[in-house]
Structure 1
């Protein structure tokens, strides 16, 4: 065989391989593996997002790669609690706020509510006032704290300090609002909605992410000039408008896929409170003590080591978190402070943990999503553990469309202390409980409310005594009802305290877990595995919160590689 023949053979093999590679690539990206149909939306075919990269990181968030860890393993147990039994859990990858939600962030929420739902109008009054933090949490009967009562929330000196006085329900509502404002901005920046659409909201023209996905013509009050007023929407309409047969480019026919859908991968998942397992995993930041697929040791705090003071040359002796060092010692001696703060501290005052997250110990304790129970039932589930699922579904009109909350159908929740909080705002989709018909023959769940599943309901509660009434979760049942006149107008509240002397616990389905030590706590509570609970509709001066977001797609971000 001549040299020329050899080169010719090699060329033909390489050419054939290149065609094969192109065909495979085209089949994967442009054609369906199932049908062979085109996926680019041309010539009447449906369009799919075939070049999706990965989820963008939302504002304020950092990526947390999931994995396995031992949840509930505390280093010290001087309280002898029975609610920290170590369990092996696996957490999926997610995103977590770099810092706690600050006063400035929460004030933006309050101002949006105030300018959108004028509190001087009676029907909107409770939307704004129900979201206000309780600034009276700073008061102490034997202490002078009026400076914080009057200034902490709104004075610019505290704008980058963590918000407090927010109950769990208010924190959840903030998370929902943040989701909608971020996705509203995403659509505007990418040119799908009109410039400045987010600034034109009034009670009947608000934007909600789920409403946009399920009924896009209902957002912004049905104003199509706002919903599809961007340049990208114009291009999308031209690309998706079928051309008449035999007439090139006349634009006749009905356009499809005019609005962004979930399959486009543009809208971000919801901001929410982190689960207890997510929060503890993120706080520990175990990557610094990892050796291949095992952990070399335990971590007592979010940082390495067994002490609260820094051992580094530059910061030797400095406290690594904001907490109470001893009786009457909240910040150290004047002139050289142990932690630089007496109450809360400005965000990023201390070094972040290995995930790049700040203040996962000290400053303020933080609400998490879970309903509190003394046990973590790893026998039933050890993957993305969370207690608190209340499944709902979209309410549907008789014509098959989703029911949208209107200005006269805002849903309020009357809290145990008499406060009224809006839990469904105009523009959102009304939710209703999942029924037994919806769960017929399902094996994973059978009820809408699963907060006391396998712990606390009649079939699983243990008795303290021979008296069948003394059940584990026999908690007080205070009654608060709205008094109305003959026309149905609210005139006041009727508060009835539970005076039953036989109550045995404060635990029920309305108490939530909070994690992490605060400026009021001793170092004992800085251990991320420590857990406490508090009523979900009450607030304090030492509990704040931060948001999380689920990761969709791959477990790790692109660019990950083995260590050198």
Structure 2
């Protein structure tokens, strides 16, 4: 009887298989009706929709609208941060400032990849070294900080300083490549042994890998039959593309608007809506806070046990000659910088968005930026458009020294017929051109030039005024300070509300009468 039942089950299985009931379904194009990922239907490969992973060290910041600029009294009388309502798309930003140990990891990789004994590599190594002399002063003794702050393990997780805007930007590029390389190795698409063979210009960068300018041995997953990536012929594909959804966008410096928005931690400004109001709610823009750690306008954060008034929420200079308080009662418990996870995190869980060190942002400085830039999306000044260089054969190339893909500036001739922009370099957009009435003579009659970059947030040596996210200052992109560090950011792909969330309002499909 058991044998008879087994025969019947096997017969049914064969019948259903022949009818296609067990056949693996392929997604189908709504436009053509052809199957995706089917070698018998053209072989067009489409990755399953997936959310963007959160990169190492990053925190997701849901975008929104806020009033950018200084809303407290402008005691400096600079009028370079006039309040203006803008919108910021969702993005990612580092939970903490980049620390000494992180930057030393970068230098270690450079020394391992670019042999310092070769004179051609020396500018690469020297160009990345932080300027430890920023600690020196004519009228104070700071030599211990000059000698030990960057390298002593006691300062491992203190923010790196003495780093210029250019150096911070290069660090972001390096970090992007190392994270993506790590992803490919972890998923088995790149052989781990490839790490040992990287020397000089023969090193992994995300762009060179995607353009087939960097060749590496495939990992175990890439050559396995279980590899989910397929060629049009249905064979395992060893090469990962951006369309597969594994690789991350580049790390970069945050835009000024992003940094300021993240610093306020406006997630705390969303009230709990009543049933009558529904689930959407609006930001309490009328109660604009002054400092990053507060949940109300007077700057206090309460606990169940009472107010925390009197506790220092940031590392700053309270007054002339008072950087830390008195023995036995140090106020912020830090004479210079403090560890990057010190003090109260804000509503997004970000540390030291006020105090400790000021931070570089991406923007080129202009006093009237708030009046010039777009209110959406991602207000920013500093665009200089570029493209991949193509040789006479139409092929991309890598730089013989660094191994990075060679890029060239977009020319005005290429841009003149565009509707949305007419110049390749628009850093000076609206500075005395045909659509503006301003001509400031930057770099000639003022200290501001196209190399002037914005930095935000107060530092360990600043008064309380500079702790407000709306304040802004500037410095040349190739200079550095003992009070200035940085953190990285990353673009957000997909739903602005985060992973697992839909985009836009969803309504049921209505049936049409036939």
TM-score, normalised via structure 2 length: 0.85
Which whole-Å CA distance do the structure 2 matches of 1:238 and 1:508 have between them?
49
Bigger mean CA deviation after superposition, 175-184 or 435-444: 435-444
**Shift in Å at residue 76 of structure 1?**
2.3
Name structure 1 gaps, 5 residues minimum. 1-22, 244-254, 408-424, 463-470, 477-503
| 1:72 and 2:69 correspond | yes
- Alignment length (residue pairs): 465
**Shift in Å at residue 257 of structure 1?**
5.1
Partner of 1:340: 333
SS at match of 1:294: coil
| 1:473 and 2:441 correspond | yes
Which residue of 322, 345, 358 maps to 2:351? Answer: 358
Alignment of structure 1 residues 41-56 onto 2, 5 Å: 41-43=38-40, 45-56=42-53
**Shift in Å at residue 51 of structure 1?**
2.3
SS at match of 1:212: helix
Partner of 2:400: 406
| 1:283 and 2:263 correspond | yes
Alignment of structure 1 residues 324-335 onto 2, 5 Å: 324-335=317-328
**Shift in Å at residue 238 of structure 1?**
8.9
Alignment of structure 1 residues 546-561 onto 2, 5 Å: 546-558=487-499
| 1:293 and 2:282 correspond | yes
SS at match of 1:514: strand
Which whole-Å CA distance do the structure 2 matches of 1:46 and 1:380 have between them?
45
Alignment of structure 1 residues 110-121 onto 2, 5 Å: 110-121=107-118
SS at match of 1:346: coil
1:534/1:461 CA distance change after superposition, 3 Å:
farther
Partner of 1:430: 406
| 1:446 and 2:422 correspond | yes
Q: Deviations over 1:162-208 (max 9, x none)?
A: 00000000000000000000000011101100024234311142001
Q: Deviations over 1:215-241 (max 9, x none)?
A: 22x21xx3x42xx23323444499437
Which residue of 213, 219, 225 maps to 1:229? Answer: 219
| 1:104 and 2:70 correspond | no
Q: Deviations over 1:337-382 (max 9, x none)?
A: 1111010000111121000111000000000000000112556611
1:399/1:71 CA distance change after superposition, 3 Å:
same
Partner of 1:135: 132
Work out whether residues 288 and 297 of structure 2, in 8 Å CA contact, stay in contact via their aligned partners in 1: no
Which whole-Å CA distance do the structure 1 matches of 2:371 and 2:223 have between them?
48
Q: Deviations over 1:446-476 (max 9, x none)?
A: 11111010125587464xxxxxxxx623425
1:293/1:436 CA distance change after superposition, 3 Å:
same
1:377/1:354 CA distance change after superposition, 3 Å:
closer
1:136/1:461 CA distance change after superposition, 3 Å:
farther
Partner of 1:381: 374
| 1:267 and 2:247 correspond | yes
Which whole-Å CA distance do the structure 2 matches of 1:66 and 1:374 have between them?
25
1:290/1:138 CA distance change after superposition, 3 Å:
same
Q: Deviations over 1:270-321 (max 9, x none)?
A: 0000000000000011222234223151110002245667654485522000
Q: CA RMSD in A?
A: 2.4
Which whole-Å CA distance do the structure 2 matches of 1:86 and 1:182 have between them?
37
1:543/1:394 CA distance change after superposition, 3 Å:
same
Q: Deviations over 1:467-525 (max 9, x none)?
A: xxxx623425xxxxxxxxxxxxxxxxxxxxxxxxxxx3101100000000000100000
1:526/1:44 CA distance change after superposition, 3 Å:
same
TM-score, normalised via structure 1 length: 0.78
Which whole-Å CA distance do the structure 1 matches of 2:268 and 2:155 have between them?
33
Which whole-Å CA distance do the structure 2 matches of 1:104 and 1:317 have between them?
32
**Shift in Å at residue 78 of structure 1?**
1.0
1:65/1:48 CA distance change after superposition, 3 Å:
farther
Which whole-Å CA distance do the structure 1 matches of 2:433 and 2:256 have between them?
22
Which whole-Å CA distance do the structure 2 matches of 1:237 and 1:382 have between them?
42
1:457/1:542 CA distance change after superposition, 3 Å:
farther
Which whole-Å CA distance do the structure 1 matches of 2:50 and 2:101 have between them?
33
Bigger mean CA deviation after superposition, 550-559 or 320-329: 550-559
1:130/1:302 CA distance change after superposition, 3 Å:
same
Work out whether residues 310 and 320 of structure 1, in 8 Å CA contact, stay in contact via their aligned partners in 2: no
Which whole-Å CA distance do the structure 1 matches of 2:160 and 2:487 have between them?
10
**Shift in Å at residue 258 of structure 1?**
3.8
SS at match of 1:127: helix
SS at match of 2:454: strand
1:365/1:238 CA distance change after superposition, 3 Å:
closer
| 1:193 and 2:190 correspond | yes
Bigger mean CA deviation after superposition, 202-211 or 383-392: 202-211
Name structure 2 gaps, 5 residues minimum. 1-20, 272-280, 503-514
Alignment of structure 1 residues 448-467 onto 2, 5 Å: 448-455=424-431, 460=436, 462=438
| 1:395 and 2:392 correspond | no
Work out whether residues 222 and 236 of structure 2, in 8 Å CA contact, stay in contact via their aligned partners in 1: no
SS at match of 2:66: strand
SS at match of 2:85: strand
Work out whether residues 185 and 219 of structure 2, in 8 Å CA contact, stay in contact via their aligned partners in 1: no
Which whole-Å CA distance do the structure 2 matches of 1:241 and 1:443 have between them?
38
